[in-house]
């Protein structure tokens, strides 16, 4: 996902739609590769007899999180539209949101790495 966000930050007004589609394909693939291990990790913390009840709850939380994330991205995008809806201004607003999201992803990656390293240190 981080790679696709970085690639999205370099698109321009004349960027071919095939290239943009490929970037979003990479984004979707990264999302799938991140979601499955996260769901599996969430379900491994639950007793086996509680898994049928836990899976729908995790699914619901994932959908609520995606909805809130979409609303936040839309809010940031519309707030970055400063003057007009022409191609240049909408692209600048889009790139600003992409950079904000890329920064958020990097912060999450670093904090996840710190947590993993701390857990490995405590397990020794």
pLDDT digits (tens, 9 = 90+) for 72-86: 988 888 887 876 677
pLDDT, residue 78, reads 85
Quote the pTM value.
0.67
Q: Give the H/E segment covering residue 113.
A: helix 87-123
Sign of CA dihedral 71, 77, 82, 85: negative
- Specify the DSSP class assigned to residue 10: T
pLDDT in tens, 92-120: 888 888 898 888 888 988 998 998 898 88
């Amino acid at each position: 996902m981080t790679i696709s966000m970085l690639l999205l930050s370099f698109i321009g007004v004349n960027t071919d739609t095939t290239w943009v589609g490929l970037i979003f394909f990479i984004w979707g693939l990264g999302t799938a590769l991140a979601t499955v291990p996260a769901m599996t990790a969430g379900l491994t913390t639950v007793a086996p007899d509680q898994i049928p009840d836990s899976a729908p709850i995790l699914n619901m939380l994932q959908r609520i999180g995606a909805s809130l994330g979409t609303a936040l991205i839309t809010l940031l995008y519309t707030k970055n539209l400063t003057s007009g809806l022409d191609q240049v201004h909408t692209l600048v607003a889009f790139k600003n949101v992409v950079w904000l999201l890329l920064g958020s992803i990097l912060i999450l990656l670093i904090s996840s790495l710190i947590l993993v390293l701390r857990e490995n240190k405590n397990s020794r």
